[in-house]
Structures are given as C-alpha cells and as structure tokens.
Amino acid sequence: MTAAAAVAVRPPDRLTLAAFVVLILIGGGNGVAIRFSNQELPPFWGATLRIAPAALIFTVTMLLLHAPLPRGRGLVGALIYGVFGFGVGYAFIYWALLTVGAGFAQVVLALIPLLTLMFAIVHGLERFRVRALAGALLALAGIAVVFGGQAAQPVPVWPVVALIAAGICVAETTIVVKWFPKSHPAALNAVGMASGAVILLAISLIAGERWALPTLTNTWIALVFLILVGSVGVFALFVFVVRRWTASATSYQFVLYPFVTVALSAAIANESVTGAFLLGGALVLAGVFVGAFTGRKASPVPQR
C-alpha cells in the first residue's frame, strides 16, 4: 500500500472542533442508552438491531445523494472499517461486558489513543511526538482514577483480552479511514455497517441468541436513539473529524466518552459525582489538551 502524507500537527478549525465536541456528547449518551437496551436484548442481537438499520439509513442517504460505492482499494478499506470497527470490535466489547463492569471496560478502552498513535506511526501517517504520548498516558491515568475502585476488583482474564482486542480493532479502523482512498462518508458507512451487521448476526446465530424485537418502551426508546443518533450521527461525525484532523487526536473521544456518561447518569438517576470523578476528569482534560492541542506544526511524512 501507499501511505498518505502525515497530517500536520496543529489545532483543528472551529468546524472540526465543534463536530468533535458533538461527537463526544452523543457518544457519551450511547452508554446510558445501551444500559436500557441490554436489560432486554441479548448482546450480539442487540448490536445487530442497532447497526443493521443504521446501515440501511446510510444506504438510502447514499442513493439520494448519488454517492458512488467505494471501488478498488476504497472498497477494501470500507470492508475492513466495517468488519473490524462494527463487527469484530463490537462483538468483543459486548461479550466482555457480560462479565466485567462498564467502569473497568472504560479503563481498558482508554488505551485506544495510545494504540492509535502507535499504529499511525507504524503506517507512516504521523511522526512520533512525546507530547502525544504524554497526553495519552495522562488521560489514561485520569480514567484509572475515576474507575479505580471498579478496576481493582478481580476480573477474569479473557474478558480483559477481549477488550484489548476491541481497542486494537477500533484504533486500526481509525487508521484505515485515513490510509485508504477517500470514499463518500455515506457510502463508507453504508458498506462498513452492512458488513459489520453481517458479522454480528452470524455471531448471534452461533451463540444461539433469541431473535425477537423489544417489547418494553424504554428499550425501543434506547434502540431508536442508538440507531439514529448513536450510530448514524456518531459515525458520520467520526468520519468527518478524522479526515480533517489527526488519527491520534480524534481517538481522544474514547477517553472523554465515559465522563459524559457519568454526568448524564447523575442527571437522570441522581447519582452523586465523587471527588475521584472531578480529579480524574481534570487529568483527562489535561491529557487531551497536551496530546491533541499542543505542539509545534510538524513536517509531513514524505509519501511512499
């Protein structure tokens, strides 16, 4: 493959930054909605019911906009984006969450910025920056402070391995969006989500899950939110942001998601906000600022 030139390290423009903030707010709301969905739906089937309709929406959007389907290397990239980002990645996360708590899962998934930075360097998309590494480690420390109590509990080994594998999938799909030739966002997500839904449905079949539509009102509300906002909205914004910013900076969304989730839970369920949350939140914000918003403009990596 031929690597694209590295994106210069500089602060995002206002439109990109606004999209990034909205992406974080929506993504954080997903955690609250998934709690309601998981109360009634089995994990792989619930993920399929979320991704398959979103794929249909992107397909209709693609047709209305007369956006061409990805071809050649662009199609390969879209399939990799879907198989690993929506199929394998979601399967690992949903399976792990059957055993471990959401707090511990967030600690492990906070490795994504570090993994993305490493992959971006390996693929030649970005140069190594000490600030990026320091920012990712600082953000990871903040997550550990917030969820330290949950993370300290004994946890089976294989769910942890699954979460790390999910983090690898997510980090690599972030690189894929920048590495392969650009496709229209609607077409990219239509192909990606369709292929991911096929993987999830196959896993659900193998797992022997019961396929049925929700019967509870709360589950329907959560599912509609996850389809329209949490999937269509999130991944349209994700593609938009990652193409206008660096892959490693975009990946900081994953360490900011849990703080939005906790804040929403406090507002909806009257859960208290602890001192550990405030301290950890400050560390995460500091890490994001150091890793994503500071540093001099870097010279692009020469094209190969």
**What does the pLDDT look like over 62-99, one tens digit per residue?**
999 999 999 888 899 999 999 999 999 989 987 887 78
Tokens describing residue 205: 């079949």
pLDDT score at 6:
46
Residue scoring higher pLDDT (259 or 79) = 79
Give the pLDDT mean for 256-265.
73
Where does the pLDDT of residue 217 fall: very low under 50, low under 70, confident under 90, or very high at 90 and above? very high
**What does the pLDDT look like over 31-65, one tens digit per residue?**
777 777 878 999 999 999 999 999 999 999 999 99
Where does the pLDDT of residue 252 fall: very low under 50, low under 70, confident under 90, or very high at 90 and above? confident
- Which residues, 6+ apart, have CB-to-CB distance to 51 below 8 Å? 86, 90, 193, 196, 197, 200, 231
- What is the reported pTM? 0.75
**What does the pLDDT look like over 265-286, one tens digit per residue?**
667 655 555 676 667 767 776 7
4-8, 153-157, 208-212, 288-292, range with greatest mean pLDDT:
208-212
* Per-residue H/E/C for 79-131: HHHHHHHHHHHHHHHHHHCCCCCHHHHHHHHCCHHHHHHHHHHHCCCCCCCHH
pLDDT over 80 at 16, yes or no: yes
pLDDT over 80 at 228, yes or no: yes
